[in-house]
Amino acid sequence: MKKAFLNRYHSEIPLKEEKSNLFLEVSTAVSVFLFSIVLAAYFMMTSMVSSWNKSIIDGLTVQIMPSSEALTADEELLRLNKVISFFDERDGVEKVRVISNEQIKHIMSPWLGENANIENLPIPKLLDVKLKNGKTFDYQKVSSELKEVASYASIDNHGIWLQKLMKSAAALKMLSLFVLAVVLSALAFSLFYAVQTSLRVHQNIIEILHIMGATDNYVAKQYAKRGLWTGFISSVIGTILGFGVLIMISHLSSGLETGLIGSAKLSLWHWGTIALLPPMTAVLSMILSFLSVKQTLGKMM
Amino acid sequence: MEAHKNMLTEPIIDMYNVCIRYGKDPDVLKDIKLTLQKGSFHFLTGKSGAGKTSLLSMMYLALKPSAGTVMIFGSNIGYASRDAMAALRRRIGVVFQDFRLLEHLSAYDNVAIPLRIRGMGENEIKKRVKELLSWVELDKSMDKICSTLSGGEKQRVAIARAVINRPEILLADEPTGNVDNDIAVKLMKLFIELNKLGTTVVIATHSKELIAEYNYPQIHLENKGLKIIPALRRAQ
């Protein structure tokens, strides 16, 4: 029974003995290794951006610097209201809230102590601007418009800085997608080249099979089977190497203790996706081999 | 016998004004007209270079005519799709002069190829291949890799591979050239038996002894043309 099963997948074309197999295996393993690293980088950047985005998407903090001149309470209130109105009138703002002295005192307590009298200190007033769900600002634009209305107020530059970083990260994400496409194309090209070489080497055998009535599908299936196994075994090796490097990077970066990079972690879902590379490569390799053979045989006898 | 006679009125290969030319070289065969009836048996004769192999190549659908029309099993091969051509080829058995075996495979696997192409089950393949290889006295060599077989053994493997599918047309290029006389007689008996079962047989040969002994009609190629030399008497 077992022998019958094995014979069913018998191949007349000696593909296992081909010298080009090593080239195909190495190029597939290297491609999958690079792919796994770049894919992980893409995932890390996505989670970093998402974490940064989350920190600024909910709202922003506005500082109203104390005046260098002595102002009356009404004048202070006028300054404050001018900034509140600026944000209230903007589309996408849900709520503007003045952060109370008590809250500021609490925030400052690690530096000033619990009993500090902040009323006598030149501490800026803070506004918490909450944005509507899904709304975001062009921080640089809003910041410069605010300067025109109230030069003494400024948006907390943490958000602006993060947004600049996010733009760079988005560009890097695009770049990583491009690299993934390049790696994939290189893999497809090497597979196509290996199949073409093999078809030339075994042209005589393929002609005999054709004379005996083999269809192009019959021949292409033998290459597809080779593609499936070579793709799977090589990509398992590439993925294991990739996992090794990623675990090392993850271990090294855990010692950095930086808030920004700390958010660049791979979730279980990300690891799972990378682990799916071998079966996906195997199927891709099988399909590409099959189509490549079919396309070439169409021009033969 | 009556059934066999009826078959002989059913054309299986029809060629009209066929020319064969390779590239820009002059015609190898010109203006060929040939009709072979189902169940007929012919020798294909002619000097070396007369075009025997070219004509056979066209019959086993490895070559398309440069001009003219070839109908095989009623299909015009000029218009047949690749899959249709493959289906037609499965009905034809071919024995090549140079055997064209897959040298890296065993005798068993070579003979099994046409059945695997048809998608037959391995148990049935095993039964048929073993039976046929025993018949051509290769039962002890069936697991040997073909590259290790002698010329005569290779020829018997090639013949077994050609007939395993019980083809409707059997084309053989010098099939008895490399075997001893006893085996040659046995192989000719096999061809005759297949012919009695309805297989159309064309055997290309230089052997005057073979032609004289079996005395079937000849398709004789000469001066790029073709003529049919009728049999003088029926083979016993």
Q: Which residues of chain B lie closer than 8 angstroms to A8, CB-CB?
A: 122
Token duo for residue A103: 């809250």
Residue A282 makes CB contacts below 8 A (sequence gap 6+) with: A227, A228, A229, A231, A232, A235
B51: left (phi over 0), alpha (psi -120 to 50) or beta: left
* B161·A3 Cβ contact <8 A: no
Please report the sign of the dihedral spanned by the C-alpha atoms of residue B111, residue B116, residue B117, residue B118.
positive
Higher pLDDT, A203 or B6: A203
pLDDT at A5: 44
Check pLDDT > 90 for residue B108: yes
Q: What's the CA gap between A83 and A73, in Å, rounded? A: 16
Q: What's the CA gap between B109 and A300, in Å, rounded? A: 25
Token duo for residue B145: 């890799």
Q: Which residues of chain B lie closer than 8 angstroms to A4, CB-CB?
A: 121-123
Put simply, whether B166 touches A (Cβ < 8 Å) is no
Q: Which residues of chain A lie closer than 8 angstroms to B143, CB-CB?
A: none
Q: What's the CA gap between A17 and A11, in Å, rounded? A: 12
Q: Average pLDDT in the B136-142 region?
A: 89
Q: Give the range among A77-91, B5-19, B73-87, B141-155 with minimum mean pLDDT.
A: B5-19
The beta strands (E) that lie in B23-139 are given as 27-37, 41-46, 67-72, 75-76, 92-95
In angstroms, the separation between the Cα of residue A295 and the nearest Cα of chain B is 12
pTM above 0.90, yes or no: no
Q: Which residues of chain A lie closer than 8 angstroms to B83, CB-CB?
A: 215-216
In angstroms, the separation between the Cα of residue A222 and the nearest Cα of chain B is 12
In angstroms, the separation between the Cα of residue B49 and the nearest Cα of chain A is 22
Q: What's the CA gap between A155 and A86, in Å, rounded? A: 12
Are B224 and B28 a contacting pair, CB within 8 Å?
A: yes
Side chain identity, residue B77: I
- By Cβ distance, the residue of B60, B62, B86 closest to A214 is B86
Chain B, residues 57-76, CB within 8 A of chain A, namely 60-62
Helix (H/G/I), strand (E/B), else coil: B171: strand
In angstroms, the separation between the Cα of residue A293 and the nearest Cα of chain B is 14
* A213·B86 Cβ contact <8 A: yes
Check pLDDT > 70 for residue A259: no
Under an 8 Å CB criterion, which residues of A touch B?
A: 3-4, 7-8, 10, 12, 14, 17, 204-205, 207-216, 218, 298, 301
Check pLDDT > 70 for residue A245: yes
pLDDT in tens, B117-135: 999 999 999 999 999 999 8
Residues in chain A: 301
Q: What's the CA gap between B129 and B110, in Å, rounded? A: 10
Put simply, whether B102 touches A (Cβ < 8 Å) is yes
Q: Average pLDDT in the A73-81 region?
A: 86
Residue A7 binned pLDDT confidence (cut-offs 50, 70, 90): very low
Side chain identity, residue A295: Q
pLDDT in tens, B189-224: 889 988 998 999 999 998 888 888 888 999 999 988
Whole-number Cα distances in Å, A43 to A54, A65, A176, A267, B73: 16, 40, 10, 9, 61
In angstroms, the separation between the Cα of residue A254 and the nearest Cα of chain B is 56
| Structure ipTM | 0.89
pLDDT in tens, B20-78: 998 888 888 999 999 999 999 999 999 888 889 999 999 999 988 999 999 999 999 98
Q: What's the CA gap between B12 and A208, in Å, rounded? A: 23
Owner of token pair 């040969």: B205
Helix (H/G/I), strand (E/B), else coil: A15: coil
Question: Mutate which of B58, B89, B103, B106 to test chain A, going by most A C-beta atoms within 10 A?
Answer: B89
